[in-house]
Chains A and B, each alone.
Chain A
Amino acid sequence: MKKSLISASQFFFIIFVSITSLTFFSVPSQLIAKVKQDLWLSMALGAIIDIYVAVLLYRLGRMYAGQSLIQYTRSILGKAGKVVGLIFLLFFLCVMVTAMWIYSDFLSRTLMPETPRLVFSISMTICAGLAAVKGIEAIARLSQIIGFIILLTSVVLFTSSIPYIQLQFLLPPFENGMLPAIQGAIYPGSWFGICIMMGMLMPHIKKQSGILKMKVYAVVLGTSVMTLYLLYSIVVMGPVMAGHFENPIYILSRITQFLIFERIEVLLLLIFISGSFITISTLYYAVTEGTAQWLGTKSHKPWVYVFGIIFILSPMFPYSNESYMVDRYLSYWFPLVSLIIEGGFMTFLFIWAVVKSKVSRSSS
């Protein structure tokens, strides 16, 4: 099978779109209510965590050129690598199910209250599944278009809502000390860290040397845009109002005007829905290809169908309507587990690989 290749700038847009759309759907509810005006620090720390993971992934990817995350985990750790690889795959799966759940829950609560959640998950799974079957090249090309649209509308939205802002809402800085902001970093940190799918994409990128630079640019740009969105929702509505809502950015888009147009939330949602489509299809591709590599099957396509059923059912998972469980999961268990996997496992893997290469060099 011909290996599909993407360029570095396409990779840039995949990461950028993933970060913005994941932040749009999952971070605001936890971050704004808890950290309020200091959230820029949390976002910056989240970006730093992600860049750290990216450096590890890049070094590992260069060490084991042409291998994906799942493949070199096996090369580094041997038999135990199979288990670690499985954990990575399960993590991808869990992220996707969570992202899909948040996405369909949000849409059914705001945009189309009477539509069952399954409709959103089915339509998204079909689209993302088709993209995943077509391979990473198709996804990458789409991400260029969507990434550009996200950038453009964000800039226009920011400039056109300048009359609404009241900068004094950002004061006082660090009202309750630095601690809440630092603790808050786990939310963006854990969601951005999904970019360990970079480990799955690396073998597909044409020019290996520029990857790290592109990744850092994408993370910095994506975080800046989303930090602006979050801060805008605070300076327009005030921290009290913004802290009450599940998704303040959505409310922001309902309050502000876009040039002469009022009520532009549908436009904003459209953009971020297409952004989610890129994220979900990239993850979909990563998880199916990872599974294929893990089990040694030739093609990733059968797995698209297998996992599709899980994704379609993701809004139906048990406890998904018990807000107590959901809150515990989103604000505690998910960040904890994903930070352990993204930060802890990757560091461990990297150190192991360095030691192993040193040992093999000294022995030879």
Chain B
Amino acid sequence: MFFHLSKYAVILSLMLLLSGCWSQINFDQLTVVSAIGLDVNKQGQLEVSVQLVNPTLPVAAGGGGQQRRAIAMYTANGLTVEDALETIRKQAKKSLFFSQTKVLLIGERLARQGLDDMMDFFWREPNQNFNCWVMVSKQSIPEVLSDSKELQAVAAEEWKAYFKNKTYKPTSGGIQLYQFLPRLEQSSFQAAVPGLIQVSKPSSKDMIMEIKDLAVFRNTKLVGWLTSEEAQIISWLTQQSSLGMFEVSTKDIKSVMFELKNIHIAMKPVYENGQLQMKVRMRTQATIKTSTEKLDLTEKQTTDLLETELSNAISETIEKTVYKLYRSYKSDAIGFGEAIHRKAPKSWKTLKGDWNNKLAQINVQSSISIEIIKSGLLIDSNIKKDDVQ
């Protein structure tokens, strides 16, 4: 009898659930955060900005005559990220939805001070997107987030699409939050983050932004920038991309643009006379994209010349980039330390203590083998003038 009754009691108690759920979020109170920006203001306080998406109805659904801003930008200061977000919630009067954040923008000034205490929020917060792309901005973040114009209404969406595009991968050096966070803690493979830089155009109010260059971090601090050409070397060495464009111009050749494909690259730690060396071996296929020079690829000489010129140029750029990283910035943003860790875990244990300062003594040797492949629409990959015999 008792058990019979208790069954009904259980069923009746289910009615308690009718009053609603604990964690429910209503759509009309919810705003998607498309980008978060972190910076310091002039007083040295942390300044957090969020770009909020204001969804508009599609025309077919009766949204044709709507006049709504596509985005809204809020900024607040605080001791911590959460502290500032609390203020922003009061300003926006909405609950912020971080799970679809596209971009995390870090101000250069903050990055140079170090991100030590800021990143804890991103480790802890359960509602956030580990796939958001990290960038460093040289301009003031509130301005970038509110005024930058892209073809799409929400700029952050366009930036995300740019990073996802395969053709831009070699130079963009895109890094997602889940890759960025652990690299701030590892001296063996440190973070390098693409920059978001304004194209100077003082006349118009709209800001046109370019994603270029690479901000190099040493531990949690930004120490310097690499150009986009160097960024491409980084993305090859870290095996982010196996594509790329490379321009060669020397005494013999005016200017030839190569497209590189199927890049295979390996860094190898080698000890020579007790000195740690880094051997880079690269294998790639190159096709000529454009040339200002007349090249007759049917002649072996030309092909050989192109191959040596190209491989010299690439190897010079690799060495220049790595030395710039290791000697000027003292940061291992290509993961050579990890390469040692994987290959020789025992000797890594003795190296890892003071890895940043040991980088300056490492010599780089690169050997590159290139295969030039015919491509394009031309016979012999060559344009012959009709009257020249």
Contacts and interface: CB of A to CB of B under 8 A. Distances in A.
Given A172-B343, A251-B130, A255-B131, A241 B21 contact: no
A168 B266 CA distance: 12
A113 B126 contact: yes
Contact of B342 (A110, A116, A126, A172): A172
B99 interface: yes
A110 B23 CA distance: 11
Contacts of B178: 237, 241, 251, 255
Contacts of A172: 341-343, 345
Interface in A148-196: 166, 168, 171-172, 175
Contact of A115 (B10, B21, B130): B21
Most buried by B among A109, A111, A114, A240: A240
Contacts of B182: 237-238, 240-241, 244
Contacts of B341: 172
A83 interface: no
Q: Chain B interface mostly helix, strand, loop or mixed?
A: helix
A255 B177 CA distance: 10
Contacts of B345: 172, 175
Contacts of B185: 240
A258 to B, nearest CB: 13
A112 interface: yes
A327 interface: no
Interface string B331-354: 000000010011101000000000
B6 interface: yes
B22 interface: yes
Contacts of B131: 254-255, 262
A362 B168 CA distance: 82
Contacts of A175: 345
Contact of B3 (A110, A166, A302): A302
Interface in B358-372: none
A114 B22 contact: yes
Interface residues of A, number: 28
Contacts of A119: 22
Nearest to B184: A240
A263 interface: yes
Contacts of B22: 112, 114-116, 119
A301 interface: yes
Contacts of B3: 301-302, 305
Interface string B115-141: 000000001001001110000000000
Nearest to B127: A113
B148 interface: no
Most buried by B among A115, A238, A305: A238
B263 interface: no
A171 B342 contact: yes
Contacts of A254: 129-131
Interface in B220-278: 239
Interface in B10-43: 10, 21-23
Interface string A120-136: 00000010000000000
B181 to A, nearest CB: 6
A302 B2 CA distance: 10
Contacts of A244: 123, 182
A166 B341 CA distance: 15
Interface string B33-63: 0000000000000000000000000000000
Nearest to A37: B342
Contacts of A171: 342-343
A240 to B, nearest CB: 4
Given A116-B22, A168-B342, A240-B182, A126 B123 contact: no
B186 interface: yes
A263 B185 CA distance: 26
Contacts of A168: 338, 342
Contact of B23 (A112, A126, A302, A305): A112
Interface in A95-115: 109-115
Contacts of B6: 305
Contact of B181 (A109, A114, A115, A241): A241
Given A172-B341, A240-B186, A263 B123 contact: no
A224 B22 CA distance: 37
Interface in A287-330: 301-302, 305
B157 to A, nearest CB: 14
A168 B130 CA distance: 21
Contacts of A126: 10
Given A238-B182, A240-B182, A254-B130, A113 B342 contact: no
B186 A109 contact: no
A323 B22 CA distance: 25
A175 B341 CA distance: 9
A175 B179 CA distance: 22
A114 B181 CA distance: 27
A265 to B, nearest CB: 10
Nearest to A236: B178
B102 to A, nearest CB: 11
Interface in B182-223: 182, 185-186
Interface string A253-291: 011000000110000000000000000000000000000
Nearest to A238: B182
Contacts of A114: 22-23
- The list of the 7 closest CB pairs from A to B, nearest first, reads A171-B342, A240-B182, A115-B22, A112-B23, A241-B182, A172-B345, A114-B22
Interface of A: 109-116, 119, 126, 166, 168, 171-172, 175, 237-238, 240-241, 244, 251, 254-255, 262-263, 301-302, 305
Given A112-B23, A126-B10, A263-B99, 5 more contacts: A111-B23, A115-B22, A172-B345, A241-B182, A305-B6
7 contacts: A116-B22, A171-B342, A237-B182, A240-B186, A241-B181, A251-B178, A262-B131
